[in-house]
Structure 1
Amino acid sequence: MPVSVTMPRLGESVTEGTVTRWLKQEGERVEADEPLLEVSTDKVDTEIPSPAAGVLTRIVVGEDETAEVGSELAVIAGEGEDAGSAAPAPAQQAAAEPEPAAPVTPSTEKPVEEEAPAPTSTTGAGGAEGTSVKLPALGESVTEGTVTRWLKQVGDEVEADEPLVEVSTDKVDTEIPSPAAGTLLEIRVGEDETADVGAVLAVIGAPGSAPAAAPEPEKPAPAPAPAQAPAPKVETAPAPEVSGESYATPAPAAETKQPAPAAPPAPAAPAPVAVESNGAGDAGYVTPLVRKLAAEKGVDLSTLTGTGVGGRIRKQDVIDAAEKAAAAKAAPAPAAQAERAAAPVEKAAAKAEPSPLRGRTEKLTRIRATIARRMVESLQVSAQLTTVVEVDVTKIANLRNKAKAAFQAKHGVKLTFLPFFALATVEALQQHPVVNSSIDVEAGTVTYHGAEHLGVAVDAPKGLVVPVIKDAGDLNLGGLAKRIADVAERTRNNKIGPDELGGGTFTLTNTGSRGALFDTPIINQPQVGILGLGAVVKRPVIVNDPDLGEIIAPRSMVYLALSYDHRIVDGADAARFLGTLKERLEGGHFEADLGL
């Protein structure tokens, strides 16, 4: 009996989700609990597993389409049902087409007979029949994508659904799986080349098939028969061009193909990146993935000589340049330069290069658009005010220094200041429930929560995400430290579950981890409070000594900024909450939690 695949509830208050990618196509076999599709919501991006084993006979909701929770996404037929008739029909139809090089992008809204989910038959450059690998739709309004890396080379064997190629668009960087098992006969779109949605990227033949003699087209133009220059980045020969030696000398690219012996040692030239510019960094197209990587590694794209087609800068170019710059900085100065003054070198190394994002216009990611909308909504629906206090955490700093080695050995995580702040916060929330509440103006009610579900803001690659530690008030210092480290790691690696991103009653945001003294954080609705943790810094402070009276001494100080909803939390309530928090932290009585 056919089984319906429905949109699950992916978090509290989530009513819909967007299909970002189908991991299986119509006519393909799927096992129970095998990942079937990827879904994105305002809170999480996750995979939906198959509810049963069988054949995917019909896709109801296509990629980049939105469906409500509980609605049907696809249909899976069991063994012996009509699944067999759904898959062959498209292949037979595609085989009869005289011009397969200009395929029409499959639309999941058409009947099964017209969608051609099965691999399309095409002819490679060497005349061999094979299965075409097409560029799928990778986002709403996305019409093209750039190949950033081929994970397989011509002649390699590839399995069905095995990652084949990495593609970058304005919205997503993703892997395209192989539609069939066999041999990669031909690559039609080289690395750093751009193709339209639906264009043929490569051709896969039967297992053991001989690859095409030479891939002819250079670009993935949607024309019926591309016949331009070969895509050199998919052959074995150009491999030396992206090695570290290619940046050891400003010689022409042809020389970089020779072995390394003739190359002189890396010069101790300008620290940023010692490469010759050909202007490609300014004029050529650079993928979002390359720009992001360059920004992270501090590489100035305008100084790079790209090894891609037409001089385009590839991801490997940025990696090699960053490694070369790091090696040049770490290596001792040559004897000929030993007399050079150190001051000018340090000054050159400290020069800050402009970000490659300057002057660019890019599309907002879904999560960034969601953050923007919610931040504005939060300011519109609540009356927000921030109160700041200064706390002396010298005792905690001393305890931490004594116990951090044993703590890490026992719990497996580093002992930072954050668990101390989290423990003191949940204890203060238990004494001041008005800060751990939510208000419903229309109903005229306020709910004082019976548990402390602590949200912890995480700076993830895709944007700010706030996983929630449920029942944080039931955890001790070690438990909080492990839970915080766990949810932060899984959030950054996109492994956090949707149920862990909702239901918070109060939030911590550690802006001090980036050196900020304090800020005025915006409340995460429908909560009524959020605590910003500033940087812990040492500075001279006047303290009262029992024997010496007032003296100036170095102390570890931190600012705590509480933003609260003034509709339900008064200034006096906020001050009392912060007073309790300050007293707990300055007392520093955490020896029992640390085993001291």
Structure 2
Amino acid sequence: MSKIERFDMQRRVVSHMVTTSWQNIPHVSYLYEPDITTFYHEYKELTKERKKEGPQISFNTIMLRVIVEGLKSAPQLNAAISYHHKKVEGSLKIQDDINISIPWLLPDGRMITPVLLKAQTKTLNELSDAISELGEKIQNTNIDELLYRAAQDDTLAAIKRCQLGVLRRIIAAQISFHRVKGLTGKEKSEYYKIPEDKRLTARNLLSGTVTVSNIGSLYKDQKGSFGMLEIIPPQVFVIGLGAVQEKPGVYIDDKGEKTIGIRKVLPMCLAFDHRAVDFSAIVPFLKTTDQIFLKPCRIRNW
């Protein structure tokens, strides 16, 4: 017998954000499949050396640092867009900090996107610690209350930007038979006694400047890749990482000759907002990451 499962707060937020994305943003997607054989070998050697000398670094963490280096070379991708369709006016604010939104799978199967703040200032160890800290904060966070407050803050920001269409959302939320409410009374008082540095706040969800989604971490044996994924406004760039895969490829051997062999390939989807930038904007990103994958010795200095 069929049943109806109504959207909870997390699903409401996600459905609203992605619908807004696809309604307003002209997406352009580039499927990038770099050969990371040399890079992956260097990463494995680094993890072996760290077993006795220091904390382990996950592949996800080191890829976040690779992406940060790419974004440093392509600052237009780390930006916020403001666009008025009727006036045909727009602007792009290049952000000083690289704040990475990372989708995080919760124990109950839901997903949120907390933000790694100022990733461009962090070493590999600091990035790893920041990810662990996010995990600890999530354990102390009431996710529904977090999303409720984040939605409120996002609505107020939209009103300040004179996006009056958001008023329909407010009215609908108030008259809906299935209203979602925040914490109240003693429960609210007890929750907000938890210091902000020990739990996630709305800022931890709304301050992202670029999103990096790693589906490879969810299923490492997958053989496919992202073809497209949504850009969450006002961001203009999103990256989808697949799982490392083995494929036949042409490479230069130790003798300097071209040969064919089994190579490690990392499928990556790079999607950008065509209102904000053209394909030329991602070329510096690609050149930087290509060089890192080809000559990865620099990762030892991160």
**Structure 2 CA distance, aligned partners of 1:448 and 1:471?**
14
**Structure 2 CA distance, aligned partners of 1:401 and 1:584?**
15
Q: CA deviation at 1:401?
A: 2.2
**Structure 2 CA distance, aligned partners of 1:590 and 1:428?**
14
Corresponding position of 1:487: 134
Structure 1 residue runs of 5 or longer lacking an equivalent are 1-281, 283-358
Between 417-426 and 395-404, the greater mean CA deviation after superposition:
395-404
**Structure 2 CA distance, aligned partners of 1:591 and 1:582?**
14
Matched letter for residue 469 of structure 1: L
**Structure 1 CA distance, aligned partners of 2:126 and 2:95?**
21
Corresponding position of 1:448: 94
**Structure 2 CA distance, aligned partners of 1:491 and 1:590?**
33
Structure 2 residue runs of 5 or longer lacking an equivalent are 142-197
Name the TM-score, length of structure 2 as normaliser.
0.71
Equivalent of 2:208 in 491, 501, 504: 504
SS of match in other structure, 1:486: helix
**Structure 1 CA distance, aligned partners of 2:256 and 2:70?**
33
Equivalent of 2:225 in 504, 518, 534: 518
Q: Structure 1's 376 and 584: CA in aligned 2 closer, same or farther, altered over 3 A?
A: same
Q: Higher strand share goes to which structure? A: 1
Matched letter for residue 459 of structure 1: L
Corresponding position of 2:120: 473
Equivalent of 1:425 in 67, 73, 76: 67
Matched letter for residue 506 of structure 1: V
Aligned residue pairs total: 236
Matched letter for residue 574 of structure 1: I
Equivalent of 1:458 in 96, 104, 126: 104
Q: Higher helix share goes to which structure? A: 2
Corresponding position of 1:372: 15
**Structure 2 CA distance, aligned partners of 1:416 and 1:504?**
22
Conservation of the 8 A alpha-carbon contact between 1:465 and 1:491: no
Conservation of the 8 A alpha-carbon contact between 1:468 and 1:501: yes
Matched letter for residue 478 of structure 1: N
Q: CA deviation at 1:391?
A: 1.0
**Structure 2 CA distance, aligned partners of 1:563 and 1:481?**
26
Greater relative CO, 1 or 2 (CA 8 Å, sep 6+): 2
RMSD: 2.4
- Written as runs of structure 1 = structure 2, the 5 A alignment for 1:307-326 is none
Equivalent of 1:434 in 68, 76, 79: 76
- Written as runs of structure 1 = structure 2, the 5 A alignment for 1:188-207 is none
Corresponding position of 1:570: 278
Q: Deviations over 1:546-568 (max 9, x none)?
A: 52622122222111111110001
Corresponding position of 1:329: none
SS of match in other structure, 1:526: coil
SS of match in other structure, 2:232: coil
Q: CA deviation at 1:456?
A: 1.3
Matched letter for residue 511 of structure 1: I
Conservation of the 8 A alpha-carbon contact between 2:70 and 2:284: no
Q: Structure 1's 491 and 411: CA in aligned 2 closer, same or farther, altered over 3 A?
A: farther
Q: CA deviation at 1:591?
A: 4.8
- Taking only the aligned residue pairs, the percentage that are identical comes to 22
**Structure 1 CA distance, aligned partners of 2:15 and 2:270?**
21
**Structure 2 CA distance, aligned partners of 1:581 and 1:489?**
31
**Structure 2 CA distance, aligned partners of 1:456 and 1:380?**
23
Corresponding position of 2:182: none
